[in-house]
Chain A
């Protein structure tokens, strides 16, 4: 680990100002990913701006939905009564992630900012365009069992590791960020990026911007939800594939539906085409299967992850089936 300086800030303004002063500074929230990256020598900030004292951890009901502060801990969100009542999919996704110890430390904003678990990114002796642009992609032609089947580029095939973000993208969340030029809002689906030629950029946050909160608009989808995470062990493993499904079903017909996947792309992967196709149709396994197949049209596998072409649609179907079967 390299030497760094540390400053604790207590207001948004001082946080943003601290970042503007030092180009190598980074925000520190729960630290569950950043500290690991610093230990591995992947990320070498010279200054850590600790934002844990900022008043951004509240979860409150607004006129149009729930507002979750960026510093709310994953556990606090997962166990929050309003979240469980209005957006059970979010609670389910959070509980599928990491371990209780990590969820007790990790924040909503930090979860969004966590970096890929691609091993080539972590091992500084290996090539990785995300860590070291231009050095090549180690995963292409290498160990790519965990990697993307959607939206990858010839520069990077890494996936975003978050479960929480899969639920948030499905639920049409809006991210509020603040920077030197004031606040702006980013639809959740536009927050993370596909790798393209610049895989070093995980998301569309500008340098120095601070995530303030995530707003989730109310919907009618809380009765039938399910987050299914398929992984190599029963807990504390990243998704091979995960699927989040939320539906409104009336008289056996799907009146509204949200569907997203994790472990398949550089960003949480919303399945809008499948949603549109399902809307108005009977909630049957056959229709779920067709929607899943539709979702796979653009899928492209590597040598090590071809199984995802089977697993991904199966996971979508299982998530939809389980969601539909909820009382």
Chain B
């Protein structure tokens, strides 16, 4: 049983709290006696701290402590976990302030804690260090020979003719580059931590997973999970950087334990570039073969990405290539190069966005080579079933999406010849691409409490980094129970609630929503047993009964009804290949004299099952496309490899798109329930909004100019020089 009707567009249930300042983010919590932590970071990229002078800082007004590798309190779990870094990175495990070793530039070398933020900042400026510098490597291009297969991802190959991409009548060989990108959510990262006694820790955190933060802290301090309280009701953007509890957050908790005081850390924008992950610099080679009439015969896709010397970060840059098109011979390889850098982490759309830029650019290139419309070429090579797993898709409405999108953007009206269309001096181009991401569903638990006044409270230890989790959950509960929106409250961001996974991988609605669906369904059963029923937005006596909700509760000596349900996918997950799909269309203007590219219009279509919350889903798509514009045109973290340091680690020089870069974005939903993913028939939204978009822009730039830019971002200099 599922939900079969279309959802009404709901306003965000927490929108008012957010715009009035009532919503509190971690740094806004005040606890009595709070102290402030400021980090001093390494000016070198590799080597050791030779000397560190903290005396002046320690004597500065208001300073409570300065922790360095010389006096940092031990973190028991860290010591126990030992050095288990595996090859090929295989370097020494990174233990912040655990030794004098420097593994990357910007690594913390001291924590300064004072009674006010300003005093901590001042004292931090008084800490001086000398170093023994060692040679460092931060440039992937100069270290390609170190590329190795990651332990967690093998090569993939299908088909009998491994060389088909080389021997086909029409061949394409091209290299694509995606630079370092930095998540840069508006809210800075950090933590507020305090202890009761030596074994009860409370933190206010910026995290995408309160349970994950709870587990990390419990294991670091070797205390019981239930003794770690994690609060994170509102998060000002994550985009992936909050999927880990970072070492500096654990270190702050250790400092709080040592000082027996609450300690708050809010990182600086510069530190956001080095200490909370990034999208890894990735170079990709695609070799593709096709027949003259446009049948793909072979694809070879190899991605080489950076990781830290101390961790083997691996992501799905080549996964789309394995199943997207009905090509008989496909080989993919993913390689990592350990560098003297902090560890990357998934960034919106993660590796799939990196891979889709290459694959969907290459598909466009090949379409032109075989003289076919890029949509027709995709349709010709359309995979009716998943060729990687040899399973049917749980649902796949891509053909309808191609149709809808091309009508909306006016695809057929364009002149398909490159550099053929103009608007005054500006060259006009249309481009499109496909995005795809696994429609994941994890295990999730939800508690429901039905109060005597007929209000329903739902609780689950999930997070909301902005997509509108509570709104979607309230909508699901409303659809199952019929209770009005204002009588339902969904509570999240507290690790004491029933467990759920982290908010990542576009899985929250599918996972937590299913638990909400199940718990509300269970609640209906409880009411039936009690002679009650949900009727037209209230709880009423069932037919033939006369006792009200209050009567029944007092008779049963209860203050409320409650039920907790755990929910997860079943056998259908093995039977079907489950993916969300998106199609992006971009219309661009390119100025031939200045190389400036402007995205003029966007049509983006999501085939993501039944849309649970139409308004917040549309906002997701708009946000994803905005991120996609950044990936396509403006965003790049630039490192001066001589120093191993970023040269644009601020929001003036690292260019996230501003309003003037973002045109009207039309969002279209196929909005057809997937029969297998979950009771709502929904599929994930967050990643597909961005995945592939950069290729749509690059393809549009090619159509506008005849220039193929294979290195992101497409800045004016690249257009001029191409």
Chain A interface residues (CB < 8 Å from chain B): 1-3, 41, 117, 119-120, 123, 125-126, 138, 141-143, 145, 228, 230-238, 240, 307, 310-311, 314-315, 317-318
CB distance from B118 to the nearest CB of A (A): 7
Residues of B close to A237: CB separation below 8 A: 652, 655
> Is the pair B720, A311 in contact by a Cβ cutoff of 8 Å?
yes
For B713, the closest partner residue in chain A by CB is A232
B647 located at the interface, meaning its Cβ lies under 8 Å from any Cβ of chain A in the complex: yes
| B1 interface contact, C-beta 8 A | no
- CB-based contact B640/A307 at 8 Å: no
Given contacts A233-B634, A314-B593, contact A125 B645 (CB under 8 A): yes
In contact, B595 and A2 (Cβ under 8 angstroms): no
Q: Is the CB of A314 within 8 A of B594?
A: yes
The yes or no answer to B157 lying at the interface (CB within 8 A) is: no
A123-B647, A142-B640, A235-B661 given; name 14 further pairs at CB < 8 Å. Answer: A1-B118, A1-B122, A2-B122, A230-B595, A231-B716, A232-B716, A233-B657, A233-B658, A234-B598, A235-B659, A238-B652, A240-B716, A307-B717, A318-B591
Set of chain A residues within 8 Å of B716, measured between Cβ atoms = 230-232, 240, 307, 311
Q: Which residue in chain A gives the minimum CB-CB distance to B662? A: A234
* Given A233-B633, A311-B716, also A143-B638 (CB < 8 A): yes
Nearest CB on A from B267, distance (A): 14
Nearest B-chain residue to A321, judged by Cβ: B425
Q: Is the CB of A1 within 8 A of B43?
A: no
Bound CA span A238–B651, Å: 12
Residue of B nearest to A126 (CB): B643
Interface core residue of B594, B598, B633 (most chain A CB under 10 Å): B594
Q: How far is the CA of A123 from the CA of B645 in the complex (A)?
A: 9
Q: How far is the CB of A153 from chain B (nearest CB, A)?
A: 20
- Chain B residues with CB under 8 Å of A230's CB are 594-596, 716
Write the nearest CB–CB distance from A160 to chain B, whole angstroms: 16
**Could you tell me the distance in whole angstroms from the C-beta of A292 to the nearest C-beta in chain B?**
10
Q: Measured between alpha carbons, how far is A123 from B643 in the docked complex, in Å?
A: 11
Residues of B near A238 (CB, < 8 A) are 652-653
B642 within 8 A of A: yes
Interface size on B, residues (CB 8 A): 35
Q: Which residue of B lies closest to A39 (CB)?
A: B121
B457 to chain A, nearest CB (A): 41
Q: What is the number of contacts between chain A and chain B, taking CB atoms within 8 Å?
A: 89
Q: Are B648 and A311 in contact (CB under 8 A)?
A: no
Q: Which residue from A1, A235, A314, A317 sits with its C-beta under 8 Å from B658?
A: A235
- Determine how close the nearest CB of chain A comes to the CB of B244; give it in whole angstroms: 26
Q: How far is the CA of A138 from the CA of B638 in the complex (A)?
A: 14
Contact check: which of B43, B125, B594, B660 meets A315 at CB < 8 Å?
Answer: B594
Taking CB atoms, residues of chain B closer than 8 Å to A120 are 647
Q: Do residues A119 and B647 form an inter-chain contact, with CB atoms below 8 A? A: yes
Closest-CB distance, B175 to chain A (whole angstroms): 21
Given A117-B652, A120-B647, A232-B655: A138 in contact with B640 (beta carbons within 8 A): yes
Q: Are A317 and B122 in contact (CB under 8 A)?
A: no
B202 within 8 A of partner (CB): no
B596, B645, B647, B720: most-surrounded residue (chain A CB, <10 A): B647
Known: A1-B121, A314-B593, A314-B594. A234 touches B647 (CB 8 A): no
Give the residues in chain A near B638, CB-CB below 8 Å.
Answer: 143
Complex: chain B residue closest to A322, CB-CB: B425
B574 within 8 A of A: no
Candidates A119, A233, A307, A317; contact of B593 at CB < 8 Å: A317
B715 at the interface (CB under 8 A from A): yes
In the complex, 19 of the A-B residue pairs with CB atoms within 8 angstroms, ordered by the A residue number, are A2-B122, A41-B125, A123-B647, A125-B643, A126-B640, A142-B643, A231-B716, A232-B634, A232-B713, A233-B633, A234-B598, A234-B661, A235-B658, A235-B660, A237-B655, A307-B716, A307-B717, A311-B594, A318-B425
A143 to chain B, nearest CB (A): 4
Residue of B nearest to A314 (CB): B593
The answer to whether B721 and A307 touch across the interface, beta carbons within 8 angstroms, is yes
Q: State which residues 29-60 of B face A: CB under 8 Å.
A: 43
- Nearest residue (CB) in B for A118 is B647
Minimum C-beta distance from B12 to chain A (A): 26
- Chain B residues, CB < 8 A from A307: 595, 716-717, 720-721
Shortest C-beta distance, B100 to chain A (Å), equals 18
Closest 3 CB pairs of A and B: A234-B660, A125-B43, A307-B717
Are A141 and B634 touching (Cβ within 8 A)? no
Measured CB to CB, the closest approach of chain A to B458, in angstroms, equals 40
Are B717 and A240 in touch, CB under 8 angstroms?
A: yes
Chain B residues 537 to 584 lying within 8 A of chain A, measured CB to CB, are none
| Those of B603-636 within 8 Å (CB) of chain A | 633-634
Pairwise interchain contact A119-B660, C-beta atoms closer than 8 A: no
On whether the beta carbons of B642 and A141 are closer than 8 Å, the reply is: yes
Distance, CA A315 to CA B425, complexed state (A): 13
By CB atoms of chain A within 10 A, which of B122, B593, B638, B721 has the most? B593
Asked if residues B595 and A311 are in contact (CB atoms below 8 Å), the reply is: yes
Residues of A within 8 A of B595 (CB): 230, 307, 311
Contact A318:B655 (CB < 8 A) given known A120-B647, A125-B43, A233-B661: no
B664 to chain A, nearest CB (A): 14
For B656, give the chain A residue with the smallest CB separation.
A233
Kindly report which residue of chain B lies nearest to residue A146, judged by CB atoms.
B653
**Assembled-state Cα–Cα distance A315/B594 (Å):** 7
Q: In this complex, what residue of A is CB-closest to B591?
A: A318
Most buried by B among A123, A138, A145, A233: A233
Chain B residues within 8 Å of A318, by CB: 425, 591, 593-594
**Is A142 a contact partner of B647 (Cβ separation < 8 A)?**
yes
Residue from A145, A236, A318 with most neighbouring chain B CB atoms (10 Å):
A236
Interface centre among B118, B121, B657, B715 (most CB of A within 10 A): B715
Determine if B657 and A236 form an interchain contact, defined as CB atoms under 8 angstroms apart.
no
Which interface residue of B591, B598, B658, B716 has the most chain A CB atoms within 10 A?
B716
Contact A119 B43 (CB under 8 A): no
| A2 cross-chain contacts in B, Cβ below 8 A | 122, 125
Q: Which chain B residues border A234 with CB–CB below 8 Å?
A: 598, 658, 660-661
CA distance A117 to B653 in the complex (A): 9
Contact B122 A3 (CB under 8 A): yes
Question: Shortest distance in angstroms between B115's beta carbon and chain A's nearest beta carbon?
Answer: 15
Residues on B with C-beta less than 8 A from A125 are: 43, 643, 645
Provide the bound-state CA to CA distance between A238 and B654, in Å: 11
Inter-chain CA distance A238–B650, complex, in Å, is 13
Q: What's the nearest-Cβ distance from chain B to residue A142, in Å?
A: 5
Q: Which residues of A contact B721 (CB under 8 A)?
A: 307, 310
B344 to chain A, nearest CB (A): 21
Cβ-closest chain A residue relative to B657: A233
Query: Hey, which chain A residues are within 8 Å of B640, CB to CB?
Result: 126, 138, 142-143
Taking a contact as CB atoms under 8 Å apart, the answer to whether B645 and A126 are in contact is: yes
A2, A120, A307, A318, most chain B CB atoms within 10 A: A307
Binary contact track B43-80/A, C-beta < 8 Å → 1, others 0: 10000000000000000000000000000000000000
| A1 proximity list for chain B (CB < 8 A) | 118, 121-122, 125
Chain B residue at minimal CB-CB distance from A317: B593
**Minimum Cβ distance to chain A for residue B412 (Å):** 29
| Distance from A83 Cβ to chain B, minimum over Cβ atoms (Å) | 23
Q: Which of B148-162 contact A (CB under 8 A)?
A: none
- Minimum C-beta distance from B627 to chain A (A): 14
Known: A2-B125, A125-B645, A138-B640. A233 touches B655 (CB 8 A): yes
A123: B residues at CB distance < 8 A: 645, 647
| Chain B: CB-nearest residue to A307 | B717
A143 to B646: give the CA distance in the assembly, Å: 10
Interface residues in B113-148 (C-beta closer than 8 Å to A): 118, 121-122, 125
Q: Tell me the bound Cα distance from A145 to B642 in angstroms.
A: 16
A317 to B425, CA, bound (A): 13
Q: Which B residue's beta carbon lies closest to that of A119? A: B647
